[in-house]
């Protein structure tokens, strides 16, 4: 890939988009195009068409999305399905019309059926019913990957879909009503430690299993796909192993230095029991995740301290 290619990172302020900008910049790509939401609302079809007509984009990373944890997904399904469908249809269609050479679309492991065999292979898509807590989001992401396939078939485009497992890393969302479990537990454990609490509340039973991928690994996989000769298809991106939410919470406590007890709130939803990805398709092409969970979590906790807590609030050196 030409280092001067005009690469549009849609969603550059988010956790995935910002990791992409870092990764591409480090690799020497010097023509990365970004737009804030105030300047380009990706749910506005005319604005998106205008942007692609005027900006001569070569490559698109479609990392802009409405995302959130189990509570946000289950309480705001309309926002999740509307915003994601609008962004996908606008960007994918305009990218096709302006003949971009490649587009990388980001989905999620929650596109797969709730009770499919584990680890989950790409071909299990649409084999049975979805997990209800994030069905609206999953339907929108399935639509996005099906759009990529349809445009490739009808127009010969090169649109590739990556399906990452649960992500974490710098620039994550620490708002407890909309965040995912890992940043939520980092914040809760940190605040519990500062208050000297005896217990840490954890949603659900603690028994669901989840797989966690550092967002820098995802950005690396996306750059790998961009630079490869792969021009279509769906690829799972994960680390290939998972742990229970209880084990995750114990690891967070170790990293943050909270020594109290875990208290599980079974009134909160567990969500899908397990969603471990089979990552052999991408590994077979030569890409593998490299950041171990505890190491990535330590770096993420430092990022949390830098971003979300001023020195005197935390009393902890970052």
x/- mask, ligand GFB, residues 36-65, rule CB under 6 A, reads ------------------------------
Interface with ligand GFB (CB under 6 A), residue from 169, 208, 238, 296? 208
Compute the distance between CA of residue 271 and CA of residue 55 in angstroms, rounded to an integer. 42
Residue with tokens 């890939």: 1
| Catalytic annotation, pick one of 29, 112, 137, 301 | 137
* 103, 158 Cβ separation under 8 angstroms: yes
180 part of the interface to ligand GFB, by CB under 6 A? yes
Tell me which DSSP letter residue 162 carries: E
Of the candidates 188, 189, 184, the residue with the CA atom closest to the CA atom of residue 259: 189
Q: What's the min distance (Å) between Cβ of 141 and ligand GFB? A: 8
13 counts as binding ligand GFB under rule CB under 6 A: no
Nearest CB to ligand GFB, comparing residues 59 and 221:
221
Q: Is residue 304 close enough to count as binding ligand GFB by CB under 6 A?
A: no
CA torsion angle 219 310 175 197 (round to 10): 120
Q: Does 269 bind ligand GFB (CB under 6 A)?
A: yes
DSSP 8-state assignment for residue 36: -
Among 19, 271, 277, 279, binds ligand GFB (CB under 6 A): 271
Q: Catalytic annotation on 137?
A: yes
The CA-atom distances, in angstroms, between 291 and each of 146, 169, 282, 294 are: 30, 11, 16, 9
- Which of 108, 152, 161, 236 touches ligand GFB (CB under 6 A)? 108
Token pair for 294: 């505890």
Biggest CA–CA distance in the chain, Å, is 60
Out of 166, 172, 192, 217, the only residue in the binding site for ligand GFB (CB under 6 A) is 166
Given the rule CB under 6 A, which residues bind ligand GFB? 69-71, 73, 108, 110, 133-134, 137, 166, 179-181, 184-185, 202-204, 208, 210, 245, 268-271
């Amino acid at each position: 890939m030409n280092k001067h290619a005009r690469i549009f990172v849609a969603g550059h302020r988010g956790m995935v988009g910002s990791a992409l900008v870092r990764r591409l910049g480090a690799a020497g790509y010097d023509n990365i195009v970004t737009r804030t939401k105030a300047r380009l609302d990706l749910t506005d079809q005319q604005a998106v068409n205008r942007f692609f007509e005027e900006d001569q984009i070569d490559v698109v990373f479609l990392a802009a999305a409405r995302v959130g944890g189990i509570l946000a997904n289950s309480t705001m399904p309309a926002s999740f399905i509307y915003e994601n469908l609008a962004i996908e249809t606008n960007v994918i269609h305009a990218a096709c019309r302006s003949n971009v050479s490649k587009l990388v679309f980001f989905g999620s492991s929650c596109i797969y059926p709730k009770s499919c065999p584990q680890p989950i292979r790409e071909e299990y898509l649409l084999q049975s019913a979805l997990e209800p807590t994030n069905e609206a989001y999953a339907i929108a992401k399935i639509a996005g990957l099906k759009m990529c396939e349809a445009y490739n078939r009808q127009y010969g485009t090169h649109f590739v879909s990556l399906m990452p497992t649960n992500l974490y890393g710098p620039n994550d969302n620490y708002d407890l009503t909309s965040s995912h479990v890992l940043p939520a537990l980092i914040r809760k454990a940190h605040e519990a430690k500062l208050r000297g609490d005896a217990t840490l509340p954890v949603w659900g039973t603690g028994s669901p299993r989840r797989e966690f991928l550092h967002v820098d690994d995802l950005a690396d996989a996306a750059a790998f796909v961009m630079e490869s000769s792969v021009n279509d298809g769906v690829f799972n991106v994960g680390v290939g192993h998972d742990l229970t939410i209880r084990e995750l919470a114990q690891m967070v406590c170790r990293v943050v230095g909270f020594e109290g007890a875990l208290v599980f709130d079974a009134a909160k939803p567990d969500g899908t029991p397990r969603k471990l990805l089979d990552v052999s398709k991408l590994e077979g092409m030569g890409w593998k995740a490299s950041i171990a969970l505890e190491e990535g979590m330590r770096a993420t906790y430092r990022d949390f301290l830098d971003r979300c807590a001023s020195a005197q609030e935390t009393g902890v050196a970052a």
